[in-house]
Amino acid sequence: MTTRRTTLAIHSQRNAAKFVALALALAIAAASGCNSGSATSDAERVRLDEANAARKALEHVREAERLERNTKNDLAIEEYLRAVRLYRELPAAWNNLGRLLMIKGENNAAAEAFRIAADLSPADPKPVYNLGALWESMGWPDDASRYYTEALARDQNHLPSLRRSILLDVNLGRATDQTENRLRRALLLESDPDWRGHLMRAQVRMRDGSLTVGNETR
């Protein structure tokens, strides 16, 4: 299977808001402990250290996003790495790091970043989908299909996973009842006219393995 062209969609604005909320929550918790009038306990120091780490990590995330917008991906990778080293519990930062490593061709490192993001955010389909997109871009459709299925187990309406899993099945000539069910759901959800056209052709050519469309990460 030939390597497919990868296009990237960046979802960083809402992630930054999550980072802000997290850092504020930690800071408030730490401040509450420190203002109690008693000697600072070990637990309070841990909370304060964690809040400081989260705040500094957020600064690196914001800088990484700025660099990414300016296509300075190598510098953005360094900032994302600084962020997660300071405060590991940032699944969106790991996911963004994985995307940039994938662009750079560092596939093993990208896969590890996506896995960490998936473990830290077990309800989020995006990092699992990105693992599928990574394996598909490398020509491993069986692994890609498995991850798309896992992403859909997290969110059955995750449209990118529906799209890619359907097209993989069609391309490989292995469409099943599950493929048809996913196709019906995708057609109900799809608003992009280009993708809707791809899916409708897939519906007609369910047993034809000639339909090929480039993949994307989220």
Per residue in 12-34, pLDDT (tens digit) is 444 544 554 555 455 444 445 44
Name the average pLDDT for the chain: 84
pLDDT of residue 122: 96
Q: pTM higher than 0.75 for the full model?
A: yes
Neighbours of 5 (CB within 10 A): 10
Which is nearest to 135 in space by CA: 149, 145, 120, 122? 145
pLDDT of residue 22: 59
The CATH number given to 126-213 is 1.25.40.10
The CATH number given to 10-122 is 1.25.40.10
How far is it, in rounded angstroms, from Cα 206 to Cα 150?
22
For the segment 100-128, the average pLDDT, to the nearest whole number, is: 97
pLDDT in tens, 36-57: 444 468 778 878 878 888 889 9
For the segment 192-214, the average pLDDT, to the nearest whole number, is: 81
- Any idea which residue has 């061709």 for tokens? 105
Q: Boundaries of CATH 1.25.40.10 in the chain?
A: 10-122, 126-213
